[in-house]
Amino acid sequence: MQTKRNYGLLYAITCILLWSFIPVVSRFGQANLDNFQFLFWSNSLSLLVVGLFWFFQKNSNPPQSLLPKQFLYVLFLGFLGCTFYYLCLYFGYANGNGLEVLVIQYCWPLIMIVLSAILLKERLSLLSYGAVIAGFCGILLVLTKGNISELKFSNLTVALIVLLGAFSFALFSVLSKKFKGEPYTITTLLFLGGLITSTISLFIFSKFAWPTQDELIPVIINGAFINGISYIFWLKALEKIKASTAATLVFLAPVLSSIWIVLFFKEPFYISYAIGLSLVIVAGLITVKNQ
């Protein structure tokens, strides 16, 4: 059990490290592409990469046979976690305040913990709830640079749409844990569902476009690693550790994202970043130990 948990923690931390680069690749990858085009290429490459993983792993991990109802269920999960979440998120960044969007976006681990208690019957201690609150306070410190008064929700419509996206990804994570299956097969089907729905949204709300030469590398990194392979790690993590533990560790992502933004885009580093990072790490360690 200890080894299983350690592997689960390793998968979760690797996934979170990859997710922390989303703001960087999104900024470089959307120089000319809009959010629908960027998402289409991301899901296309993700499906290709996880499909190759599935193909080469199928001898050691026999493909899972799914009933038609189960097949449609996994495609629906792909819509929740690979399309709808990102469309809401990209809409928020395009139309709202970036600070507000980041804070609302990372409400999804909190929502995930609540949903895991309701749907998965996971029992949480007061210490776990305290760790979650400490982790979220760490995020607020980082995102507001220590000045909480800067956080004002100026556009309620945008806030609600991003919150709906956060709920979508939290529900995706909980329902993915509830669905037992071989990770490579399930992840391939997730991105199949994501590609189908993102293609439909592309032709309804935008148009097809090729990435430019400058966008090509960020698009490949995002599609292959930050989205594609990371989802395999996330599903493997959810197999081995509590959803509440994985959710608390996710609080590391926005803190790390702030550090990458400072390094890549030469933005100033504030002492609140160090304090916030410390709070997040402590919250994660408390939750892991309390498990």
Torsion of CA 144, 15, 219, 215, to 10 degrees: 40
Check the CA dihedral 270-273-274-276 and report its sign: positive
And the tokens for 1? 């059990």
Predicted pLDDT of residue 45 = 92
Predicted pLDDT of residue 288 = 60
Predicted pLDDT of residue 232 = 81
Predicted pLDDT of residue 200 = 93
Predicted pLDDT of residue 202 = 93
Predicted pLDDT of residue 105 = 79
Q: How many domains does the chain have?
A: 1
Positions in the chain whose pLDDT score sits under 70: 1-2, 58-67, 97-100, 122, 124, 143, 148-154, 178, 180-181, 244, 267, 284-285, 287-291
And the tokens for 21? 């680069």
Predicted pLDDT of residue 58 = 64
Among residues 33, 52, 32, 47, which one has the least CA distance to residue 83? 47
And the tokens for 77? 């999960």
Predicted pLDDT of residue 63 = 56
Query: Whats the size of the chain, residue-wise?
Result: 291
Range of the domain at 65: 2-290
CB-based contact 208:200 (threshold 8 Å): no
Predicted pLDDT of residue 239 = 78
| 221/215 Cα distance (integer angstroms) | 10
| 273/97 Cα distance (integer angstroms) | 20
And the tokens for 33? 């592409």
